[in-house]
Amino acid sequence: MTKQSRQEMTEKTPSIYPVKTKLQITIIFFIVIGFYLFSMFWTQREMVGGFGNALGNMYVVIEKFFPPNLEVIPKVWGEMAQTIQMAIIATTLAAILTVPLALLSAQNITTFKPLYLITRTFLNILRTIPDLVLAVIFVGLFGVGLLPGILALFIFSLGILAKLISETIESVDMNPLEAMRASGGNVFQVIYFGLVPQVLPQFTSFVLYVFEINIRASVVLGLVGAGGIGLVLDQQLGFYNYPNAMAIIILIFIVVIVIEFISNKLREALI
């Protein structure tokens, strides 16, 4: 670079971002904001009341939930247990089936492109199906009962888990795997010794995360006659026993907290 051109460049101070990127990001930003404003306008267009009494009205309702009638907790324990059991089965099945699917849909492990693309697409479609639809279809197939509920949870969790885990697999350190390959290990050995230890802690916490999602999804299960805490909650709301409903919500909250606690402990033990 000649001295002169350097001087020139110094004089016209550059902007913080290159002009092109700046323009693109600005455009995207305005599209997002524009779409947001439009959707806010659209969703509020038929509002009658305005916000005048929003909080007051909410307070009137919220008040009805208090004080929670904690006495019901022991009585719904059976249903809570059933929900937990369904979630355990669905999560376990999903966790097992996720392993091959996640491996097949991780680009760094499945280097055979068509296979990778097929699994990916399959998982993507699986993830787009709403849990409600899954539940309804399985009830159509199996009739009411626990099975359709469990299956709906299972398929739903499988979609999420396989995506999360395959992303984790794609971000592992490939060096140890290369070392295993270099010493003559076959595919299974390489995966088992090089990959598994690296993804195990993440795997555990994702599985427990999905478990938590499954517990809360039990409301959907109630809809299809699979029982569980969701059904009881619905019933209590239906009969206007709001303090009981609040107690059930608190119970769900406690279960969620306990799962989170266990999740943290397990992760600590594994890392």
Partner 1 sequence: MIEFKDVGLVYPNGTVGLKNINATIKDGEFVVIVGLSGAGKSTFIRSINRLVTPTSGVLSIDNENILGYKGSDLRKLRTKIGMIFQNYNLVKRTNVLKNVLAGRLGHTGTLRSILNLYQKEDISLAYESLQRVNIGEKIYNRADELSGGQQQRVSIARVLTQQPKYILADEPVASLDPPTSHQVMTYLKKINKEDKITTIVNLHFIDMAMEYADRIIGMRAGEIVFDGPASEVTEKTFEEIYGRSIREDDLRGGANKS
Partner 2 sequence: GGSDDSDGEDNASGESNDNAKEEKGETPDKLVMGFVPSQDSDTIADTVKPLADRLGEELGIDVEGKVMTNYNALVEAMGSNQVQIGFIPAFGYVLANEQYDVNVILKSVRHGSGTYKAQYVVRADSDIESLADLEGKVWTYADKGSTSGYLFPAYQMMQEFDYASGTELESDFFGNTIAAGAHDNAAISVYEGDADVATTFDDVRTELEEEYPDVMDKLKVIEYTDEIPNDTISVTKELDEELVTKIKEAFLSFNEDEEMIKIMDEVYNWDAIDEASDEEYEIVKETYQKFKDDIEL
Partner 3 sequence: MASYSLPPKQPKSTFKIVRRIVIFLAIVALYVWTFLGIDIDWGRAFERMVNNFSRVIPKLFQPDWSATSEVAAKIWETILIAFAGSLMAAVLAIPLGFLAAQNMTRSKILTAIGKWILSAVRAFPDIILAILFVVAVGPNAFAGVLAIAIGSTGMLGKLYSEVIESIDMQVIEAMEANGANKIQILFYGVIPQIVPEFLSYAIYRFEVDIRASSILGIVGAGGIGTMIIFASSNRNWNEMGLILLAIIIVVTVIDFLSARIRRKIV
- Write the binding mask 77 to 116 for partner 3: x where contact by CB under 8 A, - elsewhere: ----xx-xxx-xx--x------------------------
Report the C-alpha gap between 78 and 217 in whole angstroms.
Answer: 17
- Tokens 């009981």, residue located: 244
Which of partner 1, partner 3, partner 2, none lies near 183, with the C-beta cut-off 5 to 8 A by kind?
partner 1
What are the residue ranges of helices labelled H in 129-195?
Answer: 131-142, 146-170, 175-182, 187-190
> Any contact of residue 67 with partner 2 (CB under 8 A)?
no
Report the C-alpha gap between 139 and 239 in whole angstroms.
Answer: 26
Q: Residue 228 carries which DSSP code?
A: S
Applying CB under 8 A, among 44, 85, 124, 264 the residue interacting with partner 2 is 44
Tell me whether residue 59 or residue 192 sits nearer to partner 1 (CB atom): 192
115-154 residues near partner 2, rule: CB under 8 A: 139, 143-145
Single out the segment in contact with partner 3 by CB under 8 A; choices: 27-35, 105-113, 168-176, 182-190: 27-35
Report the C-alpha gap between 190 and 178 in whole angstroms.
Answer: 8
> Any contact of residue 9 with partner 1 (CB under 8 A)?
yes
Residues 6+ apart with CB under 8 A from 234: 219, 222
> Any contact of residue 235 with partner 1 (CB under 8 A)?
no
Applying CB under 8 A, among 69, 92, 108, 198 the residue interacting with partner 1 is 198
